[in-house]
Structures are given as C-alpha cells and as structure tokens.
C-alpha cells in the first residue's frame, strides 16, 4: 500500500500551523523513516497517516482510496508505540490473538496465524508468558506481532526503540528490518536517531518545524544534502562548519556563501590538484577501532576521521564539502575555478 499526501496542512485550534503543505508519496512495500528533532513534526505526520489526527487542508490517500476523513479503524493501520501497550493480564499468545478475536476471526484460524507471527518475530518460545516476564526487546516483538495480526494496510512504528538499551536497539533495528522485508508491509518508522534511520530505512524523510527538508535514500541524504539542516543532522561525527570567510583564500565560493560544511572524512592528507589548507594538529584520539584527529584552521576547529598523525596541511575531498547561504540553502562550489 502506497501512502500519498496532497498539500496537507495541520493547524491547531489556537491557529498555529504545525505541518506546512506536506506533499509526498511513500512507495508500496518499503520501510520509510520519519527523522528529525523533537517538535519537528514526525509523530504528528504519523498520526495523520493513522487517522488519529485529521488534516486541516489537503488530501490523504492509501493507494487509490482517499482516506482523509476515515478513522484509524477504517484505514486498517497497525501501530506500535514507544511503550508497546501490551495487555498485562494476557499471555503472549493472547495478546497476539486479541485483534483477530475482535475482528471475529475463527478461533482455529487466529491461533494458527498468531503462532506463525510469533515465530516470525521470534517469540514462539514465550507464548505462555505474560508481558511482565519478558525483556523489553521481547515485549517489542510481541507488540509488532500483534500489530501485524490484523493484516494492516500500513504498519506504523512510533519511536519503538527508545526504551531499549544501546546494544538491544542495534539488534532490534535489524529485526524490524528483517520483519518488514519478510512481510512486505509498507512501514513508517518514527525516530530522532539518525544512525537508526540510516541503518533501517529504504528512504528517509527529514522533517524540521513541520516542513519536509529532504526525502531521499540514506546515502543520498548523506552525500547530497539539499540544505544545511540536512547536512548537519545526518552524519556522525557531525559535519564541520566553518565561516566562508575563512576559506575564500583556498576555495572559489559563491558571493552569497556564508558557511562551508566539511565532512570529517573529506579532510585528508595533502593530495595534488586539490585545495590545501594550513592547519595545526590539536589532538588525536582513538575510540576502539575508530580514530579521529582534531585540527585547527585559524580560529576554527575541524574533526577528521582520515588522519591519525600530526600534520600541518590537509586537502579537501570535494565529495564532502558544501557551501550554504544565510538561509541554509546549498550553493554550488566552483572546484575547477582559479584559486587565490
């Protein structure tokens, strides 16, 4: 099921517009991440998809069916929330069966499907336990199985990993990816964690202040950010940002450029026919297998992941250098122009 928004806005009763002209299409059968900071519009967008909120203007479609005025039940969505919301007095099997029981599915059919879903999410050895006896990861798996039990048109996951510890989050994001690929259900995954989104999603919609900043594949977001917000939000370590005035001697920048963003891996040892910057090495650090150096360019600090020794010059790889104007819009850099 593909999901389409046509010029959707959402305005609260106090007159504040929180989502602005949302116009997009989510492809059928893919896992889409909604990514952005708190208050950016991620969960609000998810709630518009689910039918828990109604659009102020615009239209929402599931496939060719307009669902703008339909509620969550009529849209047939499945939802998994941050707290999983399992019934504590029911066993794992009973929790998974429950939506089918409410839909009057025959007992033998619903039990067979529930067991198949439990196997899919790898809790088939926990069927007789109650949620209180399960780990956080196991509870999440049960919640996903329960959401899938009613054959949802779209599966919606709202910050499903935020209550898990770091190692379990990594494990569960891979499990969510596996489950989505095995079921083929269109899935929308809300997260504020860019690493999580980059690892799990086919495509990512970056939101800020209720506006779509960019909707693209994870690699395209990283390599080809459309604006300063996306360049800053995507990537770890975070992109270096230097005033354009500090680099005009070395790069041919547009007159309106205010800031230059430099990916940490774009700062390398000097290479012929590339811009060379004079630097001083400030600190070299090791984090297990990872290495990074802190360099100083005049008054500005740069982080690089490509240099692990003291240097006094570095080159810039054009693939990871971006110029932005005062509004944060990306500008072209004339890499073949004559340098000062």
Domain that holds residue 130: 3-228
Confidence of residue 164 (pLDDT cuts 50, 70, 90): confident
CATH number of 289's domain: 2.40.50.140
pTM (two decimals): 0.90
| Per-residue model confidence (pLDDT) at position 264 | 95
- CA distances to 97, 156, 198, 252 from 119, rounded to whole Å, are 14, 21, 27, 59
| Digit-coded pLDDT (tens) for 260-291 | 999 999 999 887 777 788 998 888 887 777 78
Q: What is the mean pLDDT of residues 250-260?
A: 94
The torsion angle over the Cα atoms of residues 188, 194, 200 and 201, rounded to 10 degrees, is 50
CATH number of 184's domain: 3.40.50.300
| Per-residue model confidence (pLDDT) at position 307 | 80
| Per-residue model confidence (pLDDT) at position 338 | 47
- Is residue 336 a part of any domain in this protein? no
- Is residue 149 a part of any domain in this protein? yes
Q: Considering 174, 202, 228, which residue would you say is the last residue of a domain?
A: 228
CA distance 252 to 249: 8
Q: Are 7 and 127 found together in one domain?
A: yes
Q: Are 75 and 165 found together in one domain?
A: yes
Number of domains into which the chain is organized = 2
The DSSP bridge pattern shows strands 78-80 and 155-158 to be parallel
Q: Are 221 and 244 found together in one domain?
A: no
Q: Are 142 and 209 found together in one domain?
A: yes
Single out the residue of 219, 237, 244 nearest to residue 319, CA to CA: 219
| Per-residue model confidence (pLDDT) at position 66 | 96
| Digit-coded pLDDT (tens) for 186-214 | 999 999 999 999 999 999 999 999 999 99
Q: Considering 201, 228, 255, which residue would you say is the last residue of a domain?
A: 228
């Amino acid at each position: 099921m593909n999901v389409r928004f046509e010029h959707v806005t959402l305005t609260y009763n106090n007159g504040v517009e929180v989502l602005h002209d949302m116009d997009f299409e989510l492809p059928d059968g893919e896992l889409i991440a909604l990514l952005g900071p708190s208050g950016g519009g991620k969960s609000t967008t998810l709630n518009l998809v689910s039918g828990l909120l109604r659009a102020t203007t615009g239209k929402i479609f599931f496939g060719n069916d307009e669902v703008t005025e339909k509620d969550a039940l009529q849209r047939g969505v499945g939802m998994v929330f941050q707290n999983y919301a399992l019934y504590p007095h029911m066993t794992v099997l009973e929790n998974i069966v429950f939506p089918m029981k409410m839909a009057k599915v025959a007992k033998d059919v619903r039990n067979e499907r529930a067991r198949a879903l439990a196997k899919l999410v790898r809790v088939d050895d926990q069927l007789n336990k109650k949620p209180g006896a399960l780990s956080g990861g196991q509870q999440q798996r049960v919640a996903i199985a329960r959401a899938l039990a009613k054959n949802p048109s779209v599966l919606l996951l709202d910050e499903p990993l935020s209550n898990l510890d770091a190692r379990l989050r990594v494990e569960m994001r891979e499990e969510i990816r596996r489950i989505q690929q095995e079921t083929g259900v269109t899935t929308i995954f809300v997260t504020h964690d860019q690493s999580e989104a980059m690892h799990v999603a086919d495509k990512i919609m970056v939101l800020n202040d209720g506006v779509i900043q960019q909707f693209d594949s994870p690699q395209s977001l990283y390599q080809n950010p459309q604006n300063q917000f996306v360049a800053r939000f995507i990537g770890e370590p975070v992109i270096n940002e230097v005033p354009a005035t500090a680099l005009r001697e070395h790069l041919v920048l547009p007159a309106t450029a205010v800031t230059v963003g430099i990916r940490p891996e774009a700062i390398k040892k000097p290479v012929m026919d590339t811009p060379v910057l004079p630097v001083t090495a400030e600190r070299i650090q090791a984090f297990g297998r990872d290495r990074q150096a802190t360099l100083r360019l005049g008054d500005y600090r740069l982080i690089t992941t490509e240099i692990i020794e003291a240097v006094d010059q570095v080159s810039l790889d054009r693939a990871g250098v971006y110029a932005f104007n005062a509004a944060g819009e990306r500008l072209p850099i004339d890499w073949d122009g004559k340098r000062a």
